[in-house]
Structure 1
Amino acid sequence: MENQTVNEGKTAAIIAYFTIIGTLVAFIMNNSKKNSFTSFHIRQFFGIFIMGMINKYLVFDMLGKFIGGIVFLFLVILWFIGFIGAIKGEEKQVPVVGEYFQRWFNGI
């Protein structure tokens, strides 16, 4: 990845990891001039967010608080890995599911 692309998109990529509102702000910031680095991190966080909603509304209700808590801890670790990648200027996919997020949300 070009250093200029990373530098131009780094702020929006970091903002994307702060709640879904931050993701919307980053998406709007990235909408006029598509930056591949920012888009990558928006897709990563959006996938983590969707998994969090599934955990909240399905796993907690169907499998209980213990399993839901384990999934929540896993999601926090994924968030941390993605956030640190954005700060460092790396396009490093989050473990296990990052590849799927890039494919599923390719239009972002």
Structure 2
Amino acid sequence: MASFEYLAMASFDLPSKSGFDMTKFVAIMSYFTVIGWCIAILLHSYNRSSFSTFHLKQSLGLILTFTLLSFIPLIGWAIGIVVFLFWLVAIYYAAVGKAYLVPFLGQYFQTHLDFIQ
């Protein structure tokens, strides 16, 4: 997989603009709660691509980060807002077909969530 730097963005070769794009759908679906992520990983198993793998890792990392921070009373809530903003930006970049590395933790997600192939 390509090496990404902080706030790095890369374009992937996606199908043409017309018609349904399963790769992009899987990438977007992965950001919608744990249920959306589970559906996306199932769809990904039938239609593998580096683009959807990238977004599956980023979204799982954001879900885990948000869940862990929710247990910290005041600070976790404040940082959770920042994680939510990263989540919105990541959904946007999934929709436009670009890879968006989440600031501070994105590279960590890509290297340590390597069970997602």
The residue that corresponds to 1:30 in the other structure is 44
Gapped regions of structure 1 (runs ≥ 5): none
Give yes or no for the alignment of 1:4 onto 2:15.
Answer: yes
Alpha-carbon displacement from aligned partner over 1:14-49 (angstroms, at most 9, x marks no partner)? 111110100000000001231111111111010001
Runs of 4+ in 1 over 4 A off after TM superposition: none
Q: How far off is 1:52 after superposition? A: 1.1
TM-score (norm 2): 0.79
Q: Which whole-Å CA distance do the structure 2 matches of 1:11 and 1:92 have between them?
A: 16
Question: Which residue, out of 1, 13, 17, partners 2:31?
Answer: 17
Matches within 5 A, 1:1-108: 1-4=12-15, 7-57=21-71, 59-60=72-73, 65=74, 67-108=75-116
Q: How far off is 1:4 after superposition? A: 2.8
TM-score (norm 1): 0.86
Q: Which whole-Å CA distance do the structure 2 matches of 1:91 and 1:100 have between them?
A: 15
Report percent identity of matched pairs: 27
Q: Which has the higher helix share?
A: 1
Q: Which whole-Å CA distance do the structure 2 matches of 1:84 and 1:53 have between them?
A: 21
Gapped regions of structure 2 (runs ≥ 5): 1-11
